[in-house]
Amino acid sequence: MRNIRIMIIDDSIMFREFLSRALAGVPSLEVVGTFADPLKAMEQIGPLKPDVLAVDMEMPKMRGDEFLRTVLPKYPGVNAVVISALSNNVFNAMHAGAVDFVGKPGSSPGYEKEQFIEDVIEKIKIAAAASLKRPATAPIAAPSCRLDLVKAKQTSLIAIGASTGGTEAIIEVIKDFPANTPGVVIVQHMPPVFTRLYAERLDKFMAMHVREAKNGDRVERGTVLVAPGGDQQLRVRGDARGYFINLNTEPKVNSHCPSVDVMFESVAQAAGPNAVGVILTGMGADGARCLRQMRDKGAHTIGQDQESCVVYGMPKVAYDMGGVAEQLPLSAIGPAVLRRFSR
């Protein structure tokens, strides 16, 4: 099996050399070129035939998202991982077709070089095997209609879990949810601080209000709560007043914090048949076991199908374990969720 061929595009010579040295010692990885100038990198993609582009976000002459928007449509066999300091433009790069992103060392508290190298190696390997449909470039518009969600009780709840490819998949699912949709709780595997930026980005175009979850937040109609990245697990607790977010500093589960399994398990216990659970694209099995728990408690469960996944990992394991009641292409999941609460 041949090596994964990697091209590094970053305007910092120190960072290019650091990353090149780190990747050079990894079996199955091969750095075929490094470039400070994104325009020169464009000229070499054809001759060097990389499998994965490791692209900085903020560069002279052209931002990373602009670079990807230009080159990825021309090279359908090439995928990309964005490597970025803290920047909201990361999500523009995801919309342009990047498979995933990694924060640079120091981009969040305690995130140092050793963890960065481990993460970037994992994401490069995932990107090399990912199946990515290049997105449409049309802007996303907020829905103007208000659906008659007559079946939506005050005790209804929607829980969504995703990993690799999930930032765009989540948008596709929830973008048309009207303002009176039952409360939504999301776990998307993402570094700290970026989850807040992601929530703020979603809030700009959705009819529902979107924010990063805080301990004690109420899960209520018209609100989407995104679990914060970092060292806290998110659970949903229920009582006579409704549903509330509980955040606790805890170890990782399935190598993740927050973990989709932890959230789904709490929703199964708190909401039972009043919940809808959705598992989207992602590597591994996080969420699969406890989506089955949700289904066993009477919740309706939906899994993304293989053809529309960037990585058909989490949804596949959930389906194989019997946790998925309805398997659908990504474009059909949002409407299917809304049908559970409408006429």
Catalytic entry in 65, 176, 286, 308: 286
Neighbours of 340 (CB within 10 A): 18
Residue 84 known to be catalytic: no
**296-337 pLDDT, tens digit each:** 999 999 999 999 999 999 999 999 999 999 999 999 999 999
**37-49 pLDDT, tens digit each:** 999 999 999 999 9
Please report the pLDDT score of residue 87 as a whole number: 73
Asked whether 220 and 158 are in contact (CB, 8 A), the reply is: no
Six-digit token string for 284 = 């591994």
Catalytic entry in 84, 87, 163, 266: 163
**190-215 pLDDT, tens digit each:** 988 899 999 999 999 999 999 999 99
Residue 95 known to be catalytic: no
Of 222, 220, 201, 221, which Cα lies nearest the Cα of 212? 201
Please report the pLDDT score of residue 10 as a whole number: 95
Please report the pLDDT score of residue 141 as a whole number: 52
Catalytic entry in 100, 119, 189, 261: 189
* DSSP-based three-state secondary structure for 87: coil
Asked whether 91 and 167 are in contact (CB, 8 A), the reply is: yes
What average pLDDT score do residues 107-123 get? 85
Of 308, 299, 302, 340, which Cα lies nearest the Cα of 324? 302
Longest dimension (CA), the chain: 64
Please report the pLDDT score of residue 172 as a whole number: 95
**169-196 pLDDT, tens digit each:** 999 999 999 999 999 999 999 988 899 9
Please report the pLDDT score of residue 343 as a whole number: 58
Please report the pLDDT score of residue 151 as a whole number: 59
Helix-helix angle 194-203:166-174, to 10 degrees: 30
Domains of the chain: 4-129 (3.40.50.2300), 157-339 (3.40.50.180)
Please report the pLDDT score of residue 310 as a whole number: 94
| Band of pLDDT at residue 152, cut at 50, 70 and 90 | low
Query: What's the pTM value of the predicted model, to 2 decimals?
Result: 0.91
Please report the pLDDT score of residue 136 as a whole number: 45
| Band of pLDDT at residue 106, cut at 50, 70 and 90 | confident
Please report the pLDDT score of residue 2 as a whole number: 86
The answer to whether residue 105 scores a pLDDT higher than 90 is: no
**249-291 pLDDT, tens digit each:** 999 999 999 999 999 999 999 999 999 999 999 999 999 999 9
The answer to whether residue 147 scores a pLDDT higher than 90 is: no
Residue 163 known to be catalytic: yes
Mean of all residue pLDDT scores within the chain? 91
CA distances from 169 to 33, 106, 143, 291 (A): 31, 28, 17, 18
